[in-house]
Copies of this chain bind each other. A is one copy, B any other.
């Protein structure tokens, strides 16, 4: 609450953002403290005034990144299917705009998460699924989605497909026909969930 503290937090934020900026250019295992310091025009040792060590800084930077990334835009009025369409639409735009900055960081976030060095990701993932489960529940009550569908299961594999598609778009960018693939995928969901 004291003005000092605010400054400290401000400084930590500055360093974290520099870290993310640097991380968008270099993969984590190649990222040096020197890179970060240079990114924000700061002495290396100053960083150690605000973070215990490199690991700590990285961890907090990734958490910050995740927080910023997943601010769920409360599209409460949309149906789940419409939301899926929206996600894919954003995805498509991202591929075309080559938002490599964010993507590069995201790769490391997932890598660390999967390796178990960054538990936060798992939590966020679960939170997201919980959130979507509610949305699906609501649509089921509204009668838009078949009631015998398990919301947990549905969002699990649909979310998985999102992740997998994103990986695939990076692995084989040349042959990745976004429109065709997305259409096929959406169609399948639609048929699966719709009441007939």
List A residues 124-164 near B (Cβ within 8 Å): 125-126, 129, 149-150, 152-154, 156-157, 159-164
Q: Look across to chain B and name the residue whose beta carbon is closest to the beta carbon of A115.
A: B27
- In the bound complex, what is the Cα–Cα distance between A189 and B161 (angstroms)? 13
A58 to chain B, nearest CB (A): 12
Given the contacts A153-B183, A189-B188, A168 and B172 also touching, CB distance less than 8 Å: no
Q: Can you give 28 A-B contacts (C-beta < 8 A)?
A: A107-B111, A107-B114, A107-B115, A110-B167, A111-B111, A122-B172, A125-B172, A150-B180, A150-B184, A152-B180, A153-B177, A153-B184, A156-B168, A156-B177, A157-B161, A157-B164, A159-B168, A160-B161, A160-B167, A160-B168, A161-B161, A163-B164, A164-B164, A187-B192, A188-B189, A188-B191, A191-B192, A192-B192
